[in-house]
Amino acid sequence: MSQKRKRMTRREFLRDAALATGTVALAGMIPTQARAGQASEPKLGARLIGKLEGPELVLDPAKWPKKFNEAPVLAELVKAGKLPPVEKRIPEEPMVVKPVHSIGKYGGTWRRGFTGPGDGENGNRIVSTDKILFWDYTGNKVMPCLAWDWKVSDDGRVIAILLRKGHKWSDGQPFTADDFIFWYEDVYLNKDLQPTPNPDFMVNGKPGTLRKRDDYTVVFEFPDPNYLFVDILAGSTAMGGGQATQQHFNRTMGAYMPGHYLKQFHSKYVSREEVDRKAKAAGFDGWVSYIKNRWDWRLNPELPVLGPWKTVSPINTPNWALERNPYYYGVDTQGNQLPYIDRISMTLAENLEVLNLRAIAGQYDLQERHTGLTKLPVFLENRGKGNYDVRLDPALNGSDATLQTNQAYEADPEIAKWLQTRDFRRALSLGIERDQLNETFWLGVGTPGSVAPAESLPYSPGPEWRKKWSTHNPKQANELLDKVGLSKKDGEGYRLRTDGKGRLRLELLTAAGAFIPHTQIAEMIKEQWKKIGIQGDVKEVERSLFFTKIKGNEHQISIWLNDGSEVLYLFPRHALPVDPVEAMLGHPIADWYASGGAKGKEPKDAQLKKALELFRTAAGKKTQERYKIAQEIWKIMVDEQFSIGTVGQSPAAMGVRIVSKKLGNIPSRQVNAQHARTPNSSHPATFYYKA
Amino acid sequence: MLAYLIRRLILAVLTMWAVSVLSFVIIQLPPGDYITTYIAQMSASGSFVSAQEAEALRQQYGLDKPLYVQYLRWMALILQGNFGMALEYSRPVAEVIGDRLWLTMVVSVAAIVFTWLVALPIGIYSAVRQYSLGDYIATFVGFIGLAVPSFMLALILMYLGFTLFNANIGGLFSEELAEAPWNLAKLWDLVKHLPLPALILGLAGTAQLIRIMRANLLDELGKPYVVTARARGLPETRVIVKYPVRVALNPFASTIGYLLPYVVSGSIIVSLVLSLPTVGPLLLKALIAQDMFLAGTIVLLLGVMTVIGTFLSDLLLLWIDPRIRFEGKQ
């Protein structure tokens, strides 16, 4: 790109970006709101957001390849007698993947950046084909993964999954139902390792069970209908998240574990003294900490895994490196064992600026994590020099900066009363000029509107709910505020409290160091609210203090993403107050919901209570009914404006993809969502180096 | 003399104990604990933790126990020579710090050597040729060096390095050598990467040192013993270097106390900006993550270094300066 021009104005940049690329097709979700005077300028998003595409699984056994090939490095090992031939390493029912563009070539090292041992998801998401079930590239349809098929009984109480015959761990040992039994009996039911049962393995608060029908069939049973469990197994959940994600950082879930390897660290199979001695020798305080360290794939290169790559240099070093798993169960349509790429090398960046600079310098081959949307102009400017392309993957959630009103707030009764008044919330929403926010903070590529998820999802209540109470209408907002009894104003035009204690001030709580500049967004909203006479007070705190304050029920309105809410049942936390870990609409309400009314506080608002009741019934319903219930819930949430949406469906989080021009089989757009384990729905095992 | 040493030693041990209590308490002061931070981090990175998992983790790390119990546990570990487990790294604290410690020392020592090599001659020159053109230039450059924050300088140099020379960005090693075992090529790679951080880290200190050296020397130059030396016909270089410079160096001996902790963990911000694998960023991240074992150990280490450094400079002054020596004897 132009070396001479060091600085561009935004307008120049938009025009330049629009002219620079030519071929990318228009996606369905491009924002169409152009501000007056800019209508004729082509939008940036239109040029960088491609067509949603991705690899597909071949499910018909008749179309599966009969002969298999392998990577040259593995062929050498076979020749030397150090590895069995490829036919013996692939299951009888392999996962056959049709790559998105073409059959690839073997070899190469995929260079990425990571930010330290807290950045486990960086690698977890790449090896997420270690999940029991998964989604297709649209993120809407459940697909086989480790299990090649699944059966749900008519009453929804019994879910059986069928494993692949001859499937092997990365050390060559068989992967069977016994690995599920080991996890269930020796980890999940062991009180030292798992003190409390996990809600993902329960229905209506009653625990499920797991048993082995034969070597290749595992059966989950529940006392009540649990049709949702298939989605749970496919989602990024405690039961279905897979080995890498659910067993990293001391986690204990994931439904299966390599029993043959882990038994040597378990007090049931080796004497307690012996395992404790081993743990102490390695610097751990006891066998529990040690076995949890041993089953963490990021830390233990010896751990047998099922994903396409395994760790060779652990995450707590400056270079987290992965190498191909010679027993990976996926092949392409011509029978080439996946993955194509030999090695993944992630280098430590002590801060995000360095990571982004390295991306600009072309030091990463594919990076969608930690690359910021606000840096897009610089990414585009250096495309030629760094030999990379930029792709934007909009997310599916409705709002990247959601104003969550605390429905259980108590500290200030006057404020609490207004937060619980529907017309007051609607007025706040109508006072926000979302187009201005979009242009300023999302470079115009987001979609302004309510909190409802993208229209492409079955959970969406319909396009009319995007705009409902979510447009800029200060006149209507002022009328609503006058009507509810806030008509008195002070000399500067701000509305006064009704208890005579001066100006009505609303606190907007934001977290420092969030991926989206929530504080700056809040400042702009504060300016916009001047027109409706509402005084906002932006209060920025450190990130963990932010969550602590919310948990302490101290906030009036907090601002955070509603990511994950697009798959309402798998991750309701950002949509409804149901999870005691995080509930921005009011922690006491979540405690009340989770404890079945024993703890916490019942919501005062009848509509909110209705939404929670609808949510509670959903697990026992079949898929189509569940979608209908979700739509009902979203209609309530948008109509009531408990959560005020601003701009969403944007690539701001994990959606700015820097792709080396050397790489092949890269979808021009991929689904950007937590349940789809972005970029895993694009099957990174099919990425390859063209030359 | 012996009584003096023993008194200093006892004071040093007490100071270290106080440092350990303070560092532990300060790290615990912000609301929440390591698990809260972990949950927040997971939320921000598109993953999540359930309430059950959070509770299990708190029990495993003993975070559900009262603060003094946690402190006593930590102390018990330290007395056994075990600094505990770095929570985020799942590795013993000693290993995590050890990895970075000597690289940190290499960078810091390089910076200090650079500072001294540049600052002392310029300081002497500025003093001897006071108000000359050279003095003005050195003073000007010195004040700029003092005024420009070093992280800013780091950003600018990194940007220039990238745009003009297409140089590697940040770090102490080239990507392909970062994990390679030690050999000549890797050593050479380190030497090639060293000048930039050494320059940036050294520059601020250089300005300061030039000013101190200049001021000290100016005080000395007018004194009668210098005039006498000149009058006796000693060569000018010998007059200056042999006597006034030696006296002017005196304040440096007393600042060695602060040099030691600097060697271990100076330059947190610059290391962060330049992405250097040193102890500084480690400390910052441990503090943000509320990993009290890791942060506590580093803070304790810094405290110990300061105490030892001060002790050393006391001894050094005792040796250099007869006035202190005689005072001690009285």
- Domain range summary for chain B, segments of one domain joined by +: 31-82, 101-329
Considering only CB atoms, which chain A residues are within 8 Å of B158? 357
Of residues B276 and A423, which shows the higher confidence score? A423
Considering only CB atoms, which chain B residues are within 8 Å of A253? 53
The CA distance from A616 to the nearest CA of chain B, in Å, is 18
Inter-chain residue contact B179 with A319, CB threshold 8 Å: yes
Considering only CB atoms, which chain B residues are within 8 Å of A361? 162, 166, 169
Q: Quick check: A392 and A535 in contact, CB under 8 A?
A: no
The CA distance from A362 to the nearest CA of chain B, in Å, is 10
Considering only CB atoms, which chain B residues are within 8 Å of A119? 45
**Rounded distance, CA B63 to CA A213, Å?**
41
* Statement: residue A676 has pLDDT above 50: yes
Residue of A351, A544, A547, A551 to mutate, interface with B, max B Cβ within 10 Å: A544
- Residues contacting residue B227 through CB under 8 Å, at least 6 positions apart: none
A194 touches chain B (CB under 8 A): yes
**B133-192 pLDDT, tens digit each:** 989 998 888 788 778 888 888 888 888 877 777 666 677 777 666 667 778 888 888 888
The CA distance from B116 to the nearest CA of chain A, in Å, is 29
**A89-145 pLDDT, tens digit each:** 999 999 999 999 999 999 999 999 998 888 899 999 999 999 999 999 999 999 999
DSSP element (H, E) containing A159: strand A158-163
Q: How many helices (H) and strands (E) does chain A have?
A: 24, 27
**Rounded distance, CA A673 to CA A676, Å?**
5
Residue whose entry in the numeric block shows the structure tokens 């902790």: B261
**A40-49 pLDDT, tens digit each:** 455 677 789 9
Considering only CB atoms, which chain A residues are within 8 Å of B89? 117, 316
> One-letter amino acid identity for A441?
F
**Rounded distance, CA A97 to CA A99, Å?**
6
In chain B, the percentage of residues whose pLDDT exceeds 70 is 89
* Statement: residue A544 has pLDDT above 80: no
- Residues contacting residue B111 through CB under 8 Å, at least 6 positions apart: B197, B198, B201, B202, B205, B266, B267
Q: By C-alpha distance, which of A253, A114, A548, A354 is closest to B290?
A: A548
**A576-604 pLDDT, tens digit each:** 999 888 899 999 999 999 888 888 999 99
Inter-chain residue contact A580 with B51, CB threshold 8 Å: yes
Inter-chain residue contact B179 with A318, CB threshold 8 Å: yes
Residues of chain B with pLDDT under 70: 1, 43-48, 166-169, 175-179, 256, 263-266, 320-330
For residue A31, what pLDDT band results from cuts at 50, 70 and 90?
Answer: very low
**Is ipTM beyond 0.90?**
no
B275 touches chain A (CB under 8 A): yes
B47 touches chain A (CB under 8 A): yes
> How high is the pLDDT of residue B12?
84
CB atoms within 10 A of CB B274: 29
Among the partner-chain residues B46, B91, B155, the one whose CB lies closest to the CB of A316 is B91
**Rounded distance, CA A357 to CA A375, Å?**
10
Q: By C-alpha distance, which of A662, A172, A576, A608 is closest to A420?
A: A608
Range 204-233 of B in CB contact (< 8 A) with A: none
Considering only CB atoms, which chain B residues are within 8 Å of A542? 30, 288
Inter-chain residue contact A345 with B277, CB threshold 8 Å: no
Residue of B35, B163, B169, B268 to mutate, interface with A, max A Cβ within 10 Å: B169
Under CATH, which number does the domain B101-329 receive? 1.10.3720.10
SS3 of A99-158: the string is CCCCCCCCCCEEEEEECCCCCCHHHHCCCHHHCCEEECCCCCCEEECCEEEEEECCCCCE
Range 616-675 of A in CB contact (< 8 A) with B: 653-654, 674
Inter-chain residue contact A548 with B31, CB threshold 8 Å: yes
Inter-chain residue contact A116 with B39, CB threshold 8 Å: no
Of residues A364 and B139, which shows the higher confidence score? A364
Residue of A322, A351, A385 to mutate, interface with B, max B Cβ within 10 Å: A351
pTM, to two decimals: 0.85
Of residues B53 and A22, which shows the higher confidence score? B53
Q: List, by residue range, all CATH 3.10.105.10 domains of chain A.
A: 402-648
A170 touches chain B (CB under 8 A): no
CA angle, B205 then B209 then B212, to 5°: 145
Q: Quick check: A306 and A316 in contact, CB under 8 A?
A: no
Among the partner-chain residues A111, A121, A594, the one whose CB lies closest to the CB of B46 is A121
CB atoms within 10 A of CB B223: 13
Residue B234's Cβ-count burial label (10 Å; 0-12, 13-18, 19+) is middle
> How high is the pLDDT of residue B81?
81
> How high is the pLDDT of residue B41?
74
Residue of A343, A387, A581, A654 to mutate, interface with B, max B Cβ within 10 Å: A581
A40 touches chain B (CB under 8 A): no
Q: Quick check: A419 and A608 in contact, CB under 8 A?
A: no
B98 touches chain A (CB under 8 A): no
Among the partner-chain residues A118, A199, A293, the one whose CB lies closest to the CB of B88 is A118
A250 touches chain B (CB under 8 A): yes
Mean pLDDT over each residue of chain A, to the nearest integer:
91
CA distances from A453 to A40, A398, A614, A649, B258 (A): 29, 5, 18, 8, 57
> How high is the pLDDT of residue B325?
65
Q: Quick check: A325 and A170 in contact, CB under 8 A?
A: yes
* Statement: residue A34 has pLDDT above 70: no
> How high is the pLDDT of residue A10?
46
Q: A56-258+295-345+662-689 architecture in CATH? A: Alpha-Beta Complex (3.90)
Q: Pairing state of beta strands A330-332 and A557-560?
A: unpaired
In chain A, the residue whose alpha carbon lies closest to the alpha carbon of B172 is A318
In chain A, the percentage of residues whose pLDDT exceeds 70 is 94
Range 491-550 of A in CB contact (< 8 A) with B: 511, 514-515, 542-549
Inter-chain residue contact A545 with B51, CB threshold 8 Å: no
Q: What is the dihedral of CA B52, B53, B55, B58, to 10 degrees?
A: 180
Q: List, by residue range, all CATH 3.90.76.10 domains of chain A.
A: 56-258+295-345+662-689
**Rounded distance, CA B57 to CA A279, Å?**
18
Inter-chain residue contact B50 with A238, CB threshold 8 Å: yes
In chain A, the residue whose alpha carbon lies closest to the alpha carbon of B283 is A350
> How high is the pLDDT of residue B192?
81
> How high is the pLDDT of residue A9?
47
CB pairs under 8 A between A and B: 162
Mean pLDDT over each residue of chain B, to the nearest integer:
81
**Rounded distance, CA A669 to CA A657, Å?**
9
* Statement: residue A55 has pLDDT above 60: yes
Inter-chain residue contact A351 with B41, CB threshold 8 Å: no
Considering only CB atoms, which chain B residues are within 8 Å of A560? 43
Superfamily of domain A402-648: Dipeptide-binding Protein; Domain 3 (3.10.105.10)
The CA distance from A215 to the nearest CA of chain B, in Å, is 30
Say which range, A20-24, A152-156, A276-280, has the weakest mean pLDDT: A20-24
> How high is the pLDDT of residue B169?
65
* Statement: residue A438 has pLDDT above 60: yes
Range 79-118 of A in CB contact (< 8 A) with B: 111, 116-118
DSSP element (H, E) containing A540: strand A535-541
Say which range, A112-121, A160-169, A634-643, has the weakest mean pLDDT: A112-121
Q: Quick check: A423 and A484 in contact, CB under 8 A?
A: yes
Inter-chain residue contact B47 with A121, CB threshold 8 Å: yes
The CA distance from A67 to the nearest CA of chain B, in Å, is 36
> How high is the pLDDT of residue B316?
78
In chain A, the residue whose alpha carbon lies closest to the alpha carbon of B35 is A544
Q: Quick check: A337 and A329 in contact, CB under 8 A?
A: no
Of residues A639 and B268, which shows the higher confidence score? A639
**Rounded distance, CA A550 to CA A591, Å?**
13
